[in-house]
Structure 1
């Protein structure tokens, strides 16, 4: 029915444009049996000036993909349906998927217009590996005489969404005048935000930000800082995000902040020395304040008595010996 309507519209169009420049050849009468499949040949000629208006050709045997577009999240189960008509004058077409991503089921169906279709259902799990890959369904018809027509193909390119992650190649490189920090991320889609000391980094005269997509899922962003800035830098964070999630990476500047580290060591050492001096002064003052002269006098007397006793004993021993 759709084919007859298209032929009728084309005929009307050609007559309306300029009937003197077109000739249509169509059978006036056709004898057929009721219920049989009928093919009505129709042809027309036109001049070369009108060729550009007939570049698009409609083929009713072209397979149809359902859905016609595909946007899914990674890990989702996907079901694609390919259907092609099976006219009575042709053997039911052979339907082929490329690539074969999963299980395939085929059935013959009849629509409301009593037209028979062959349907093939492809089921697979969406993956980021399918991004940029054409999924096609081809229909090959065989005629009753055994010959085959050229394959008719319909295809689509899936759009698979997945959360981002930051690659290990992200790092910072120091030069004599600046530091270049690169953040490389994979995600679909993927966006990058820099935080400098907790504040969003914007393009300015002091900070240069260069962001470039290398393909549909790979994004690289570079922040360039001059030497004066990185001396007082405490943190630099790269955040990659999309609607499915986010991930961050903090860049460390141990090798790039030597002045800051030396200042910290100097201050720490000075504080420790001051504490030690204070403790020493406190001990000396404590001893002077709590000194007891009576104890010192008794100690001297005891020493004197002991010395005299020793002398007396020694003198007696000397008289006895004599």
Structure 2
């Protein structure tokens, strides 16, 4: 309560004590949230001779803009169906007890002004002084966030308090903490001027993990119209004092001539770092070099590089200290045998990876070459060919009778042609399917190139075969190789002859039926 409010209250009490004159008490100013209700705490005093008028019935009127302003609320109008208030509300106080507390609903945004209180009846009409200033805000005020201690030591209990104004007591704000370190309970409380607020207390045990953490208190206000709501929040950053914490990531490595170690520590206040080798503190020198790197306000990383003799494995200790205490970590230095094993293992792993990479590349190139060759035609492959063979083409393949006989010492060359022939005749003569494999063997001489021998094998199946006539019968003398079991021809019109021993080739002659 401000000094002016105390002065007004004291003045009203003195007036009541001395002679119970006209007087009123209420806050000088109130903050309201647009779209929500606002509570106006109010008490008044009148001369005792007018108490009977209060029992007879009296109305409460609130005017915007002072006593000469416009009436926005009349306690009689909620019961009237003819005219309505500009701002709806409810008189919650008991006038017989001199309590004029009022709640105005859905307070408009543009209605910031001074509001005057008036009592009105048939025999009692009075404007009370002073007025109350109501400031309407579109956004709720930020919560007030305070901690019991600004800086706390790790392991101690911490209490954070958050409070938010509740101008509308029927819809108080809901307070939440982020992060939620422990459970909390909201409580609706009253100020000295009888305005309302909600408070929440968060209590937890401080840890070094909380240092620098941002704590936020959020106030959620629900409005009277629909499901709309408005939010405001306030935050603070925790400061936790703790002794040094050495990270377990500290390690050592060695080469043939040096040992290198690193150590990292965090603390608040920021810690310092020392190295101990075989129980003795290490200082910077030509053989032992110490380097330090600060990590923010609370961290420190230190590294030690020192020369050593072959086979020497000293004991190494990392020591970190600040005003709250100290901590240490003993580091393991690899022995020379472990160093050689690690080096060999590393080289082996690298070799395996390189070999796998080369093998994968070779396999990829091989597969690519195979796919490329498979797309090209091969001269050694036999292809299926469908062709019609005429009598004239047959005569071209057969040697004439005037051709000289082949010599025994002549070389023999064979051309292999796979022919698949499928013939279909009409429905009256049936269907014929013939598959013929023809192998031609050609003898050549050094002096001239003539075709002397042909090996022909015909496999045929005919339905409704017509008798041969003198004009179409063609007999072929077949020369077969004893080493082969099949003969072939490319002429489907040559009729097969009875099987005879393959002895020698005779001349080709025509016969009559």
Name the TM-score, length of structure 1 as normaliser: 0.54
Residues 1:36 and 1:87: Cα distance change in structure 2 (over 3 Å): farther
Query: Please, which of 200, 208, 218 is the counterpart of residue 289 of structure 2?
Result: 208
CA contact (8 A) 1:90 1:143 kept: no
The residue that corresponds to 2:25 in the other structure is none
Report which structure shows greater RCO (CA 8 Å, sep ≥6). Answer: 1
Residues 1:30 and 1:198: Cα distance change in structure 2 (over 3 Å): same
The residue that corresponds to 1:93 in the other structure is 173
1:291-306 superposed matches below 5 A: none
Does the residue aligned with 2:230 lie in a helix, a strand or coil? coil
Instruction: Indicate whether 1:145 and 2:225 are aligned.
Output: yes
Shift of 1:216: 5.8
Question: Which range moves more in the overlay, 240-249 or 75-84?
Answer: 240-249
Does the residue aligned with 1:192 lie in a helix, a strand or coil? strand
C-alpha distance in 2 between matches for 1:29 and 1:183: 68
Query: Please, which of 120, 141, 144 is the counterpart of residue 200 of structure 2?
Result: 120
CA contact (8 A) 1:192 1:238 kept: yes
Does the residue aligned with 1:129 lie in a helix, a strand or coil? helix
Residues 1:40 and 1:64: Cα distance change in structure 2 (over 3 Å): closer
Shift of 1:121: 0.9
Shift of 1:110: 2.5
1:43-192 superposed matches below 5 A: 61-67=141-147, 70-88=150-168, 91-146=171-226, 148-188=228-268, 189-192=270-273
CA contact (8 A) 1:70 1:157 kept: no
Structure whose CA Rg is larger: 2
Shift of 1:111: 3.0
C-alpha distance in 1 between matches for 2:177 and 2:217: 5
Q: Show CA shifts across 1:83-110 (max 9, x none).
A: 0111148832111111221121222223
The residue that corresponds to 1:39 in the other structure is 134
CA RMSD of aligned residues (A): 4.2
Structure 2 unmatched ranges of 5 or more: 3-27, 30-109, 119-127, 337-513
C-alpha distance in 2 between matches for 1:216 and 1:70: 17
Shift of 1:194: 2.1
Structure 1 unmatched ranges of 5 or more: 6-24, 43-58, 257-322
CA contact (8 A) 1:27 1:40 kept: yes
C-alpha distance in 1 between matches for 2:156 and 2:114: 55
Shift of 1:138: 0.5
The structure whose residues are more often helix, as a share, is: 1
Query: Please, which of 226, 247, 266 is the counterpart of residue 327 of structure 2?
Result: 247
C-alpha distance in 2 between matches for 1:245 and 1:128: 14
C-alpha distance in 1 between matches for 2:113 and 2:298: 59
Shift of 1:202: 4.0
CA contact (8 A) 1:98 1:137 kept: yes
